A and B are shown apart, each in its own frame.
Chain A
Amino acid sequence: MSQQRLRATFVKGPQLKYISHLDLALAWERALRRAGVPLAYSQGHNPQARLQLASGLPVGYTGAAEVMDIILSQPMPPGEFMARVRPALPEGLSVTDAEEVPLKGPSLQSALREAVYMTRVETSLQADELTQRIANLLAADQLVQQRTRKQRLENFDLRPLMKDVWLEAHGEHHIQLGMRLCAGQQGNVRPDAVLAALGLADAYVQVERIRLMFEFDSL
């Protein structure tokens, strides 16, 4: 029987923002089973559904256009796929697009390059002060910061991982910051690092990842 690879774009809403990456994959698998989508399983003792999320969304973030690949054991038109899956999804999860892609081809994880985030930060900082801080950040050659990896503190340079940062909107008690950051296996950084560099580490913040950019997209 001929397999098929579908690429789906989905929303991870605020109801699901505390669900971890692994748990989200299982939630998807179960939703697809409920929907009667013919999932392909790996061979072997402990068969795994062949379902791949492009990138783990940090716990607490929402995602407006997350991407995953699903291998089906029998072909199904993308439109039918979407129609079947919609009623089987929990609140907070919705599928916005699906397309067929070549069965062979790079995995989403290996093709991921950048991610665009929109953050809403509660602060009473003035707009010109913020604009100045952003400009300073982007003007720097090097921004050495600390992060914990594998339970060890390490230094890393934030600057090359930060493609762009901009002030999207400004209100009396909050601001909206956009940022385009490196993501994926060749370098990855989270928006909190940028917020920390801007002196906003302790602010109440809501983060949404609004786009994932891949090698095959025109960057």
Chain B
Amino acid sequence: MRIDERVLDRILPTVRKPGRYTGGEYNSVAKDWDTITVKVGLAFPDVYDLGMSNLGLAILYDILNQEKDVLAERLYAPWPDMEAAMRQAGLPLYSLETHRPLCDFDLIGISLPYEQLYTNALNLLDLGGMPVLSQERDEGYPLVMAGGNAALNPEPMADFIDFFVIGEGEQVILEIVEAFREVRDAEREAQLRRMASIPGIYVPRFYAPSYFEDGTLAKIEPLVDEADSHVVKRITPVMPPPVTKFIVPFVDVVFNRASLEIQRGCTRGCRFCQAGMIFRPVRERSMEEIIQTVDAIVRQTGYEEIGLLSLSSTDYTKIGPLVKALSEKYQDRSLSLSLPSSRVESVTVDLVDMLAHGRKTGFTFAPEAATDRMRDVINKSISTQELLEVADMVYSRNWRLIKLYFMIGQPTETDQDVREIGQLARQVLEVGRRHHGRKAQVRVGVSTFVPKPHTPFQWAALDDLDTIRRKQAILKEELRQAKGIIYNWNEPAESLLEASLGRGDRRVGQAILRAWQKGCKFDAWHEHFRPDLWRQAFQEAGLDQAWYANRPRLADEVFPWDHIDAGVQKRWLLMDWYAAQRGETKIDCREHCFNCGILTAFKGLRALTPPNAWECPPIRNPRWKELAEQGKVVGLTPVVRKVMAEAKSQA
């Protein structure tokens, strides 16, 4: 049943930005609810303005709505003023397309890109009229799935989510829909067993964790046949067709532009970077396809800006010719291009000139550390000299603002390393002054390093709160009276929460539940974040935030995400962690394969893709291609193992 529009009409004039809650945007798809058999609600657990910029959900929305007998609609977290009004009026969380309550859908997909959205995810379920605990929802409720970067450690949210989609969703989403058709009328247990049999799907209730006396994890064991001991992430072997019919929001949103993924994954191997590890292998979209797509996007959306997305846009092989071709083609149509991430070593004069449209917002670099030694530790080996030369070039091409992103708290960091961040910022400003005098600006964003699962730094500790504050004070002192430098930093308590959730185990779910019950939500929003309530929530759950966040891990510790396989092997990550401490660097893996594990995990898939489709070296042994073509190898490690075992036993 649709929600009561009259009630909504009463509420909307009283809330901020009511256009967030009405739907009907150009390119949104409202299908006939009564004739479609599988209905998927795609939910982003933050406000519309942020959720609309999420490319992952836009891709799934596009794929699902292209299916004749499937519909996908969007749901976002209402801002607190709207939530209060909805709760008071008894309005449930509803979808934007046809204004249906959350609990009327068959499947709900929640995007979990980062940990600060966990309480909002619970709040969404509750506002949608559903129990937040998975065990309390029977087959009368929709199946709740979640995916995204944070799902690579699903354990903290295991109590709330029915199943997790590990890795890329493009292919598996339709497998899930088909599986749902088979088990629509089955009991919840049978529904979930069917889901567990899909490669890349993790159903937490079919796995039991056990712990050692010291509180660390002993093992996580599968309980049913359908549950694989290792859930390997899904990937699309070649870049999937890009979205062109982006929904065009009426209200201003955070990234009010279309996004086009020009490349997926990154070959650089920065040791702190989760995306760089979990999005392997690196796949590029062809230049021809990008140019055609930009054209289609402009025609179908009318957007005036397109972001060319990649973890490291300037590493795209033909970035120069691409940007040149695009800026020539659109110079009179006021289309601006943005490259969200540029590497110091791959920026050229031509590129800087062609991105001139963005001059007003400044040129961004993320050296992450200020000393050559630290940059070797984190494996982001650019030299200070190089950075200053590039800064000189950028300022000389009429840009006045350079933004620099750094991280404090990375392993082996000394106070001197911190101090030099300030000195480097001053040096860059000096360069700018030569070109623009007092109008030159440097904006320095200093975040706190948070160790992430599936990275070489997953064994590292988060600095304790006092250390973070001391380092931030050093920087404040260092940048005092530096006119022309704007310094931003992260609230230490926010990093503590991110770290204690990010590497949490299943017990952390209790803390999340309690925090939400105490009123925590919008934890990613400074004005709503309540560290005091979180502290209490952890305490009441019998847990210590510091134990999760600030404790260095031993080499042989079992991690809560060890059974979730992102392709890169734990053994390889450990070797890289040791290399970091010795200050050893690894070059771009396009130059030399370091055998991180991706090719082992996806051998079959690699055998079936053309050599230039991935940056990883091709598989030369024809036997793999044969097996893959027979459909025996989908490229997923456990499956590979089974096939190999079968082959052996037959021999």
> Do residues A33 and B18 form an inter-chain contact, with CB atoms below 8 A?
no
Given contact pairs A31-B26, A90-B24, A91-B24, A16 touches B13 in the complex (Cβ within 8 A): no
Q: For the complex, what is the distance from the CA of A108 to the CA of B444, rounded to whole Å?
A: 45
Given contact pairs A23-B250, A60-B13, A204-B10, A15 touches B19 in the complex (Cβ within 8 A): no
> Do residues B302 and A18 form an inter-chain contact, with CB atoms below 8 A?
no
Binds A, one of B293-301, B317-325, B546-554, B617-625: B293-301
Whether, in the assembled complex, A138 has its beta carbon less than 8 Å from a beta carbon of chain B, the answer is no
Q: For the complex, what is the distance from the CA of A114 to the CA of B208, rounded to whole Å?
A: 72
> Which residues of B from 1 to 35 have beta carbons under 8 Å from A?
6, 9-10, 12-13, 18-19, 21-22, 24-26
> Do residues A31 and B302 form an inter-chain contact, with CB atoms below 8 A?
yes
**A19 contact set on B, CB distance < 8 A:** 19, 22, 250-251
**A59 contact set on B, CB distance < 8 A:** 13, 18
> Which residues of A from 8 to 46 have beta carbons under 8 Å from B?
15-16, 18-20, 23-24, 26-27, 29-34, 36, 41, 45-46
Given contact pairs A30-B248, A33-B298, A59-B13, A18 touches B22 in the complex (Cβ within 8 A): yes
> Do residues B302 and A88 form an inter-chain contact, with CB atoms below 8 A?
yes
> Which residues of A from 39 to 57 have beta carbons under 8 Å from B?
41, 45-47
Residue of B nearest to A27 (CB): B250
Whether, in the assembled complex, B138 has its beta carbon less than 8 Å from a beta carbon of chain A, the answer is no
> Do residues B303 and A15 form an inter-chain contact, with CB atoms below 8 A?
no
Q: For the complex, what is the distance from the CA of A98 to the CA of B6, rounded to whole Å?
A: 34
Q: For the complex, what is the distance from the CA of A23 to the CA of B17, rounded to whole Å?
A: 11
Q: Number of residues in A with C-beta < 8 Å to the partner?
A: 28
Q: For the complex, what is the distance from the CA of A23 to the CA of B249, rounded to whole Å?
A: 9
Whether, in the assembled complex, B540 has its beta carbon less than 8 Å from a beta carbon of chain A, the answer is no
Residue of A nearest to B335 (CB): A33
B127 CB to closest chain A CB, in angstroms? 20
**A29 contact set on B, CB distance < 8 A:** 302, 304
Whether, in the assembled complex, A171 has its beta carbon less than 8 Å from a beta carbon of chain B, the answer is no
Most buried by A among B9, B298, B301: B9
Q: For the complex, what is the distance from the CA of A88 to the CA of B301, rounded to whole Å?
A: 9
Whether, in the assembled complex, B557 has its beta carbon less than 8 Å from a beta carbon of chain A, the answer is no
Q: Which of A23, A31, A45, A204 contacts B19 (CB 8 A)?
A: A23
**A23 contact set on B, CB distance < 8 A:** 19, 250-252
B357 CB to closest chain A CB, in angstroms? 10
Given contact pairs A31-B26, A33-B298, A60 touches B12 in the complex (Cβ within 8 A): yes
**A30 contact set on B, CB distance < 8 A:** 26, 248, 301-304
> Which residues of A from 82 to 139 have beta carbons under 8 Å from B?
88-92
Q: Mark B67-101, 1 if CB is under 8 A from A, else 0.
A: 00000000000000000000000000000000000
Whether, in the assembled complex, B360 has its beta carbon less than 8 Å from a beta carbon of chain A, the answer is yes
> Do residues A41 and B334 form an inter-chain contact, with CB atoms below 8 A?
yes
Q: For the complex, what is the distance from the CA of A45 to the CA of B252, rounded to whole Å?
A: 21
**A41 contact set on B, CB distance < 8 A:** 334
Given contact pairs A23-B19, A60-B13, A204-B10, A33 touches B24 in the complex (Cβ within 8 A): no
Q: Which of B10, B22, B252, B301 contacts A15 (CB 8 A)?
A: B22
**A15 contact set on B, CB distance < 8 A:** 22, 24
> Do residues A34 and B302 form an inter-chain contact, with CB atoms below 8 A?
yes
**B26 contact set on A, CB distance < 8 A:** 27, 30-31, 34, 88-90
Most buried by A among B13, B24, B25, B251: B24
Q: For the complex, what is the distance from the CA of A24 to the CA of B25, rounded to whole Å?
A: 12
**A18 contact set on B, CB distance < 8 A:** 12-13, 18-19, 21-22
Q: For the complex, what is the distance from the CA of A30 to the CA of B305, rounded to whole Å?
A: 11
Given contact pairs A18-B12, A23-B252, A46-B360, A34 touches B22 in the complex (Cβ within 8 A): no
Q: For the complex, what is the distance from the CA of A36 to the CA of B301, rounded to whole Å?
A: 11
A154 CB to closest chain B CB, in angstroms? 22
Residue of B nearest to A20 (CB): B19
**A90 contact set on B, CB distance < 8 A:** 24-26, 248, 250
**B248 contact set on A, CB distance < 8 A:** 27, 30, 90
> Do residues A45 and B360 form an inter-chain contact, with CB atoms below 8 A?
yes
**A33 contact set on B, CB distance < 8 A:** 298, 302-304, 333
A51 CB to closest chain B CB, in angstroms? 12
**B19 contact set on A, CB distance < 8 A:** 18-20, 23
Q: Mark B255-294, 1 if CB is under 8 A from A, else 0.
A: 0000000000000000000000000000000000000000
Residue of B nearest to A13 (CB): B24
Q: For the complex, what is the distance from the CA of A31 to the CA of B251, rounded to whole Å?
A: 14
Q: For the complex, what is the distance from the CA of A201 to the CA of B476, rounded to whole Å?
A: 54
Q: For the complex, what is the distance from the CA of A19 to the CA of B19, rounded to whole Å?
A: 5
**B18 contact set on A, CB distance < 8 A:** 18, 59-60
**B10 contact set on A, CB distance < 8 A:** 204
Q: For the complex, what is the distance from the CA of A24 to the CA of B251, rounded to whole Å?
A: 9
Most buried by A among B6, B24, B250, B299: B250
**A34 contact set on B, CB distance < 8 A:** 26, 299-302
A53 CB to closest chain B CB, in angstroms? 14
**A60 contact set on B, CB distance < 8 A:** 12-13, 18
Q: For the complex, what is the distance from the CA of A175 to the CA of B360, rounded to whole Å?
A: 53
> Do residues A16 and B250 form an inter-chain contact, with CB atoms below 8 A?
yes
> Do residues A47 and B334 form an inter-chain contact, with CB atoms below 8 A?
yes
B159 CB to closest chain A CB, in angstroms? 37
A102 CB to closest chain B CB, in angstroms? 26
**A45 contact set on B, CB distance < 8 A:** 360
A95 CB to closest chain B CB, in angstroms? 15
Q: For the complex, what is the distance from the CA of A89 to the CA of B251, rounded to whole Å?
A: 16
**B9 contact set on A, CB distance < 8 A:** 204
Residue of A nearest to B300 (CB): A34
B440 CB to closest chain A CB, in angstroms? 18
B615 CB to closest chain A CB, in angstroms? 36
Q: For the complex, what is the distance from the CA of A22 to the CA of B21, rounded to whole Å?
A: 17
> Which residues of B from 331 to 377 have beta carbons under 8 Å from A?
333-334, 360
B2 CB to closest chain A CB, in angstroms? 14
Most buried by A among B10, B19, B298, B333: B19
**A92 contact set on B, CB distance < 8 A:** 24
A177 CB to closest chain B CB, in angstroms? 18
**A16 contact set on B, CB distance < 8 A:** 24, 250
B39 CB to closest chain A CB, in angstroms? 21
**B302 contact set on A, CB distance < 8 A:** 29-34, 88
> Which residues of A from 180 to 207 have beta carbons under 8 Å from B?
204
A20 CB to closest chain B CB, in angstroms? 7
Q: For the complex, what is the distance from the CA of A45 to the CA of B359, rounded to whole Å?
A: 9
**B252 contact set on A, CB distance < 8 A:** 23, 26
Residue of A nearest to B21 (CB): A18
**A36 contact set on B, CB distance < 8 A:** 299
Q: For the complex, what is the distance from the CA of A117 to the CA of B251, rounded to whole Å?
A: 25
Interface pairs A-B: 7 shortest CB-CB = A30-B302, A33-B302, A18-B18, A34-B302, A90-B26, A15-B24, A19-B250
Listed by A's residue number, 12 A-B pairs whose Cβ atoms lie within 8 Å are A15-B22, A15-B24, A18-B22, A19-B251, A20-B251, A23-B250, A23-B252, A30-B248, A30-B304, A34-B302, A88-B302, A89-B26
In addition to A18-B18, A60-B13, 11 A-B residue pairs with Cβ atoms within 8 Å of each other are: A15-B22, A18-B12, A19-B250, A23-B251, A27-B248, A27-B250, A34-B299, A34-B301, A41-B334, A59-B18, A90-B26
Binding site for A on B (CB under 8 A): 6, 9-10, 12-13, 18-19, 21-22, 24-26, 248, 250-252, 298-304, 333-334, 360
Binding site for B on A (CB under 8 A): 15-16, 18-20, 23-24, 26-27, 29-34, 36, 41, 45-47, 59-60, 88-92, 204
